[in-house]
Amino acid sequence: MKIRIVSLSLIILSLLNLSTFAQNVDVDAFEKKIKETPNAYLLDVRTSGEFGGGHLPKAMNIDFRSPDFNAKVAQLSKDKPVLIYCLSGGRSAQAAEQMRAAGFQVTEMKGGYLKWTTRLKPLEGVPDVKHDAAWNLADFKKEIASSDAVVVDFYAKWCAPCLKMMPTVDKLAEEFKGRVTVLKVEADGNQAIMQAYGIDEIPSFIVFSKGELITKTSGFREEAALKELFTATKK
């Protein structure tokens, strides 16, 4: 019986250790951890270009895709906890896995930088650039309700896939002129709309027909796939 009790205790302790060293928390919990562990490394593993478009206050940048990622991480002290994030969670998950294997205590932020910004959390290093006019949520809802077919393009000026698709979106907007209304919503400044429609990744597209949501998708799309969005409201 004593052996069983000891074994059970060891299992519980092991699980507790795993939960301590392998955490994936939401934005509010992540912000709380930042405040509670001021000595932690706050690590942004996006590209330098993404980092330059804005980041969490006091974050350091090590690009996960860069060849010297492991070399730079090796210079960090394993005695300090690591709070890690990327754009939406994919890269930070891979980076966290590697760092945990190397002996680091890592906490990931669910949803990444996109989720942080949609929750209107504080930012640092946002460039002083001219942004497109922000939408009023009520006006946005009226606009999508007044048209038979609406394609909404959620983008950011620091988002390479968004910029790459923009000429194609404009081309299709002209091709479907009079049949489909195209609305462009810049992520920066339109957090209320992004929250209202559950947009936590860019680029993203939503198709409406007379105010009814027809389809929603995210990620880079070639012209043929984009064209499918413009025909999605056809019966």
C-alpha–C-alpha distance, residues 17 and 20, integer Å: 5
Catalytic residue, chosen from 82, 86, 149, 159, is 159
Type of residue found at 17:
N
Determine whether 86 is an active site residue.
Answer: no
What 8-state DSSP symbol labels residue 206? E
Candidate list 27, 96, 149, 162, residue with the active-site label: 162
3-class SS at 187?
A: coil
Q: Is 116 helix (H, G, I), strand (E, B) or coil?
A: helix
Q: How far apart are CA 61 and CA 51, in angstroms?
A: 7
- What does DSSP assign to residue 55? B
In angstroms, rounded to a whole number, what is the distance separating the alpha carbons of residues 128 and 206? 29
Q: In angstroms, rounded to a whole number, what is the distance separating the alpha carbons of residues 74 and 101?
A: 12
Output b/e per residue, 159-178; b: 16+ Cβ within 10 A: beebeebeebbeebbeebee
Q: How far apart are CA 118 and CA 207, in angstroms?
A: 20
The single-letter code of the amino acid at 80 is: K
Active site residues: 159, 162
